[in-house]
Chain A
Amino acid sequence: MKSSPVSSPLNPYHHIYVEEDIREHPQTLRILSRLPKGQVIPIQHYKDVFCRTRQDIALQHRAQALILARKTGTLIYPGAPVCQSFGNHHFYYTSLCMNCPYDCQYCYLRGMYPSGNLVLFVNLEDYFRELETRLAEHPVYLCLSYDTDLCPLESLHGLIHAFHHFLAIHPTLTVEVRTKSACIPLLRALPPTEQMIFAFTLSPDEITVFERKTPSLGARLQAAKEGIDLGHSIRLCFDPMLYVPGWREVYTQFVPTLTDTLGADHLKKVRDFSVGTFRISQSYLRFLRHTTSSPIVQYPFVNLDGVYGYPPTLAREMEDTLCDALSAFAGPDKIFRWEDN
């Protein structure tokens, strides 16, 4: 074959699979209007695309297709054992989408889902209805992006804005928006409220190389700083801490970067900090290891009651090292450790 190739790299969301049932849903129309170049393909059910066998997750992550669907069944789940609850009794999480626009090599989603494509659920009204049922019984602490990062696609789906409006009429609801983004425009657009916590996951630059498509540490810190200036409730998460050769030096040098960028005044205004080493359930690790040869996931983890993690002495040492460094500006009541959970 002598002709020259005619292919070009695909943009993200080059193809948008839309369940026919929600084709006219206002959220579907909003998303499609923002992706005018995407090729729309009608489908019956998102699983027809998402659950095909033998998909190449890493390849799909390079140019994700988008799937718009209706989520049925339970929409709000009690926090899983591997989640950090921050001392909240009524701790829940929700899945507004499946998969993530970022592509961290260690992400358990790669071991959990059969596809690297992104599913967005459009029926937000059903989530709100279920949430109101819970709120009628007790206050709710809800993790909005426990297994995704909603911030980088906010202009597409507007979910964080929608929850922000919902908070205003439900004062007993608190939500956490966990992110690795540098979401300054979003922070500027939303009036601050104690009910919405922006939790920035921070890693040394030696680790962010494993977090593909994410902003650098510097960019995330700038966003956190601006969030504090604007009066937002900001949490800093050092979770997962990852083992790399020379980890002690890497994490010890990381804290001065933090203090230099944020400054003591800003650090005092941080709501709290969370620290935890990498952990993953046994079944997800098995699949995750098939998707990458990265040493981050090939590490010989130890199995503690079905959850794989670093040997306990190493995990404790890593967390202690970071907690000691953080204690220069944060009291123990402000530092949540995964081990204390």
Chain B
Amino acid sequence: MIYLQLAMSCEAAPLIRALSLSAAQPLHGLKRWASQDVTLTLSGTGPYAACACAALTCAEAESAHDLFVTFGTCASLLPDLSPGTLYRIHALYDLASGRPYYPDMFPDIGLPEAGIITGARVLDTASPLHGLADCPPHTLYDMESAAAHLAASRFLGPHRQAALRLVSDAGESSHITQESIGHMVEKQLPALTAVLASFASYAASLEDVDDFTPSDEEVSHLCSLLRCSESMRLQLVQLIRYAGSCGISFQTLLAPYIASGTLPVRDRKEGKRILEELTRLIST
């Protein structure tokens, strides 16, 4: 599942149409649209709204195949960057706390890249924001991305996060309307949907490491058969993991002991002997 987070409905509307998303159950009052592969949540504007929404969303993203992707418009800090360019963000810097965040850049999607600074106020070139001069040399500015990803990082690793930003202006936001933002997003739909498809196939390729850990029920059943102490229990769990990694079924190993009535054992000493025998059998 791709969990998409956007701040404004004018940014979201073209994507909702293009991805054929349907209205879904709100997330603690936050509006949502969803399909089988994508869940889009509207956070509202500003870092606090973005942070709260990201935390709620990422707490849901439990599968190793879930990605958290933010998208929205932003301002350029360099006057020569042309509005309408879509960037993948490789560095996010939170102006208030001075904390950076770096998502992993998997997979390669061929978009131009930039760093972004997130502040709590609208950027105004007429009265530049205090502290901006001390920031790293990033080229973009918005009010959500760093906050969202710093919150998301409490739940998800950097390989399961991505940020996309579309330049709308160079800090002269007076002429920007909801309509003009909608048009800009509309123009980027082919690129955006292709990028999201790439993220979907990347997410599907992410693997859970199967360390062959047995279930609690299996362990307690085997422990009762072998009358395990705590240290024997730990030894048993690791032995089951090792057997699994070698493609050996532990149940098959135990079958003759159960058939002969050796298991369950009479006492712990006997359990220890059998555990050692099993260890020798598969690991020497």
**Interface SS majority for chain B:** mixed
- Does A41 make an interface contact (CB < 8 A)? yes
Shortest Cβ gap from B200 to chain A (Å): 6
Shortest Cβ gap from A63 to chain B (Å): 8
Indicate the size class of the contact surface on chain A. Answer: 35 or more
Pair A14/B105 contact, Cβ less than 8 Å: yes
- Within B159-184, the residues touching A (CB, 8 Å) are 159
- Does B83 make an interface contact (CB < 8 A)? no
Pair A293/B211 contact, Cβ less than 8 Å: yes
- Does B48 make an interface contact (CB < 8 A)? no
Q: Which of B91, B101, B110, B209 contacts A293 (CB 8 A)?
A: B209
- Does B153 make an interface contact (CB < 8 A)? yes
The interface residues of chain A lying within 8 Å CB-to-CB of B159 are 55-56, 59-60
The interface residues of chain A lying within 8 Å CB-to-CB of B250 are none
Pair B156/A54 contact, Cβ less than 8 Å: yes
The interface residues of chain A lying within 8 Å CB-to-CB of B241 are 289, 298
Q: Which of A3, A39, A59, A291 contacts B106 (CB 8 A)?
A: A59
- Does B198 make an interface contact (CB < 8 A)? yes
- Does A292 make an interface contact (CB < 8 A)? yes
- Does B25 make an interface contact (CB < 8 A)? no
The interface residues of chain B lying within 8 Å CB-to-CB of A7 are 107-110, 198, 201-202
Which one, B6-14, B124-132, B189-197, B264-272, is touching chain A?
Answer: B189-197
Pair A298/B212 contact, Cβ less than 8 Å: yes
Q: Which of A1, A49, A298 contacts B37 (CB 8 A)?
A: A1
- Does B133 make an interface contact (CB < 8 A)? no
Pair A43/B110 contact, Cβ less than 8 Å: no
Pair B279/A300 contact, Cβ less than 8 Å: yes
Pair B284/A55 contact, Cβ less than 8 Å: no
The interface residues of chain A lying within 8 Å CB-to-CB of B137 are 42
Pair B153/A59 contact, Cβ less than 8 Å: no
CB closest chain-A residue, reference B247: A295
User: How far is B106's CA from A60's CA once the two chains are assembled, in angstroms?
Assistant: 9
- Does B65 make an interface contact (CB < 8 A)? no
User: How far is B37's CA from A289's CA once the two chains are assembled, in angstroms?
Assistant: 31
* Given A298-B211, A300-B235, A52-B158 contact (CB < 8 Å): yes
